[in-house]
Chain A
Amino acid sequence: MQNKNKSGIGAFFGRLVRQQYFIPLTALVLLALFNLIADPAFFKISITTNSAGNAVLAGTPITILDYGSELAILAIGMTLVTAASKGQDISVGAAVAIAGSFILRMLCGGDSSSNTLHMPIICAFLLGCVVAMLFGAFNGVLVAFFKIQPMIATLILYTAGRSIAAWFNNNELPIIKDAAFSYIGGFIPGVPIPTPFFIAVICVIVITLVLKFTNLRLYTEAVGINENSARLNGLNPAAIKILSFVILGLCVAVVGLIKVSRVSSINYSVIAKDIEMDAILAVALGGNSLSGGKFNMATSIMGAYIIQFLTQTLYKYKVPSEALPAYKAVVVILLVVMSAPTVREYLSNLVKKAKVKEAA
Chain B
Amino acid sequence: MKKKLALMLAAGMTMASVMGCGGSGDAAPAAADTETEAPAAADTETEAEAPADTAAADTEAEAPAASGEMIKVGIINNDPNESGYRTANDADLKATFCAENGYDASFAYSLKNEEQINAAQQFIQDGVDYLLLSAADTSGWDSVLQDAQANGVRVILFDRTIDADPSLYEASIVSDMRAEGDKAVEWMKSQNLDEYNIIHIQGVMGSAAQIGRSDALTETAAAEGWNIIVSQTANWNAEEAQQIVQSVIDSGESFNVIYAENDNMAQGAVAALDAAGITHGVDGDVKILGFDTNKFALEELLAGNWNYDGQCNPFQSSYIDDIIKTLESGGTISEKTIIMDEKGFDAETITQEDVDTYGI
Contact = CB atoms under 8 A, between A and B. Distances in A.
Nearest to A308: B243
Given A113-B295, A263-B267, A49 B233 contact: no
Contacts, number: 118
Contacts of A67: 243, 246
A316 B250 CA distance: 9
A13 B243 CA distance: 37
A51 B277 contact: yes
A166 B249 CA distance: 33
B276 interface: yes
Interface stretch (B77-85, B121-129, B180-188, B339-347): B77-85
Nearest to A171: B87
B236 interface: yes
Interface in B229-251: 230-233, 235-239, 242-244, 246-247, 249-251
B43 to A, nearest CB: 16
Contacts of A311: 243
B319 interface: no
Contact of B238 (A49, A63, A145, A267): A267
B294 interface: yes
Contacts of A265: 238, 264, 267, 296
A64 to B, nearest CB: 10
A41 B249 CA distance: 12
A316 B277 CA distance: 20
Interface stretch (A23-31, A76-84, A319-327, A339-347): A319-327
A343 to B, nearest CB: 32
Interface stretch (A53-61, A124-132, A218-226): A53-61
Contacts of B295: 113
13 contacts: A51-B274, A67-B243, A163-B81, A186-B274, A259-B239, A265-B264, A265-B267, A271-B237, A273-B235, A312-B243, A318-B231, A320-B231, A321-B233
Interface of A: 41, 44, 48-52, 56, 58-60, 63, 67, 113, 145, 162-163, 165-166, 171-173, 175, 186-187, 259, 262-263, 265, 267-273, 311-312, 315-316, 318, 320-322, 324
Shortest 10 CB-CB contacts between residues of A and residues of B: A321-B233, A315-B247, A268-B81, A270-B237, A166-B81, A51-B274, A60-B250, A263-B238, A49-B277, A269-B81
